[in-house]
Amino acid sequence: ITSPVAFDILPLKLHPFSQSTPTGLDCVGWKRRISAPVITDGALDKTALTDDVGSEEDLYEDFRSSNHRYGHPGGGGEQLAINELISDGSVVYAEALWDHVTMDDQELGFKAGDVIEVMDATNKEWWWGRILDSEGWFPASFVRLRVNQDEPMEDYPLKVEGGKEDDSRRFGMGQTTKDQMRTNVINEIISTERDYIKHLKDICEGYIKQCRKRADMFTEEQLKTIFGNIEDIYRCQKKFVKALEKKFNKDHPHLSEVGSCFLEYQTEFQIYSEYCNNHPNACMELSRLTKVNKYVYFFEACRLLQKMIDISLDGFLLTPVQKICKYPLQLAELLKYTNPQHRDFKDVEAALNAMKNVARLINERKRRLENIDKIAQWQSSIEDWEGEDVLVRSSELIYSGELAKISHPQAKSQQRMFFLFDHQLVCCKKDLLRRDILYYKSRINMDDMEILDVEDGKDKDFNISVKNAFKLHCRDTEEVHLFCAKKPEQKQRWLKAFENERRQVQLDQETGFSITEVQKKQAMLNASKQHHAGKPKAVTRPYYDFLMRQKHPTLPTTLPQQQVFMLAEPKRKPSNFWQNISRLTPFRK
């Protein structure tokens, strides 16, 4: 890479895949290029691995006899890399990703887009920096190191009146300079992909391969929990990096056309969804195992045998989560330095949107998986439940509310609570005395139904006058269900909800979303245990504690408040569907 310094860094903020501290860059956020040469796939020294059980045991003893502390965050490599550059006289710049507003005169305030000179990165979470004449502490997770450290400061967009960027300055840079910047970004993408392949290879060969030899220590189920589908990700990324290298123009890197590679692999990148959803489980399992010394020694022996850098296993396992988050950032940087006339411009623009969509899909799947626990808890609170569990066919509550259900043959009206899930509508009856207790009554298969809007007046099928009514008509059996809402706007919300239900079902079919039987059974088991306990389960925080880090005592004593980092915009609008359920039994206790 042509810039003086480049780090593979993703400033992870608090997001759906992590309950990290606000300055949540975990221990694999950085890779020091100046001291660790890039080893491409296949170039790893095979002597790093050995099947000699004796040497492995010797290594255990050497490690056991040392006072090495396993699992310390970061290993110190990231601070060493950046501080060596600073001590050598190099100027290291970082770009602010979010506003940092502070009233503390010891902290450095800035706005998103500001460029900060990093003067000290000794501490992992709080760095010391300077903007013009102001100096102070700032949270490392609010910034990212500039890909182009040699980019002149004057080439950064100027702010003019009204807060808009001065496009004339932005695009007024010389063509040669802009081509050089594009070269730097292309080199960054290629280089980080090769580094990433090295990380995946080390995990698969250095850890998984060795773990499988020790059936006395690990079951296949444990390995699946710890490593997820990282071997599938490794196979996918090997193909992806080969496609990138085919498009890489070694003589003139700025002419490389890499956008099409991201478009080609956007569907395959969806496998990251499974990995990211499993990552909290992996952290909890590792946290449990590393309380036992033999596992601590084993994991460290694996790292040393593979000649991996001084980062603990949990740090390496965070890399795929960071990687899928970073693609939109890299592509946005590439688009910034790609002229509209460039042959790659349209593909890079499309690739940026595609990778944002991939990230958005991962977020959505994560949210859906979290919802199945709520659905299981809801079902466990319903009295006299009959038939299959809701989770057998559904994974999303679309809408809920009270309706009058009119039944044949007497056209009798009954007030019922209805819960619309994907594929089914569940009908419940409120307890006469305790209105927060619900009894199961029936359900309707929405896959067989069509929705009919009914005008106010006399209904010919039921021979009664209705208002704010609609029908569900079964195409196969000709069975008809008549419902009445109290107000016209409630009826419209129900009609809209039925449209959303069909749209959700279609989207799930298109994206292949599904919940495994294991996940369904586990959710129902957890809900059953919680229900029988008679009170809410105590909140456990192993995943949060697993990622917690200590702050330097000389640093600010308060952590800055910050926004939730979502993988892609726009942010999902908060749903109010669960507010109705919150009034039910398990949530009131």
Hey, which of 391-395, 522-526, 543-547, 580-584 has the most confident mean pLDDT?
A: 391-395
Q: Considering the chain, what is the average pLDDT of its residues? A: 75
341 and 433 part of one domain: no
345 and 409 part of one domain: no
CATH at 252: 1.20.900.10
Instruction: Report yes or no on 517 lying in a domain.
Output: no
Classify residue 534 as left (phi > 0), alpha (psi -120 to 50) or beta. Answer: left
262 and 132 part of one domain: no
209 and 333 part of one domain: yes
291 and 346 part of one domain: yes
Q: What is the mean pLDDT of residues 244-252?
A: 92
Instruction: Quickly tell me which residue has 């490389």 as its tokens.
Output: 256
**Alpha-carbon distances, residue 215 vs 60, 173, 207, 219 (angstroms):** 18, 61, 13, 6
Instruction: Report yes or no on 560 lying in a domain.
Output: no
CATH at 121: 2.30.30.40
Domain count, the chain: 3
What is the spatial distance between Cα 138 and Cα 102, in angstroms, rounded to a whole number?
9
Range of 403's domain? 396-512
Contact partners, residue 316, CB within 8 Å, separation at least 6: 28, 199, 202, 203, 207, 308
CB of 319 within 8 A of CB of 254?
no
pLDDT-derived band at 231 (thresholds 50, 70, 90) equals very high
pLDDT tens, position by position, 261-299: 999 999 899 899 889 888 888 888 999 999 999 999 999
Instruction: Report yes or no on 124 lying in a domain.
Output: yes
358 and 425 part of one domain: no
Q: What is the mean pLDDT of residues 519-547?
A: 60
Instruction: Report yes or no on 71 lying in a domain.
Output: no
What is the spatial distance between Cα 67 and Cα 46, in angstroms, rounded to a whole number?
29
| DSSP per residue, 372-407 | HHHHHHHHHHSBT--SS-GGGT---EEEEEEEEEEE
Instruction: Report yes or no on 1 lying in a domain.
Output: no
CATH at 485: 2.30.29.30
233 and 336 part of one domain: yes
295 and 442 part of one domain: no
Instruction: Report yes or no on 378 lying in a domain.
Output: no
115 and 208 part of one domain: no
CB of 283 within 8 A of CB of 547?
yes
Last residue of a domain, one of 337, 371, 405: 371
285 and 318 part of one domain: yes
Q: Which two tokens stand for residue 345?
A: 């411009």
363 and 424 part of one domain: no
Specify the higher pLDDT residue, 120 or 148: 120
Instruction: Report yes or no on 259 lying in a domain.
Output: yes
Classify residue 256 as left (phi > 0), alpha (psi -120 to 50) or beta. Answer: beta
Q: What is the mean pLDDT of residues 363-385?
A: 88
120 and 266 part of one domain: no
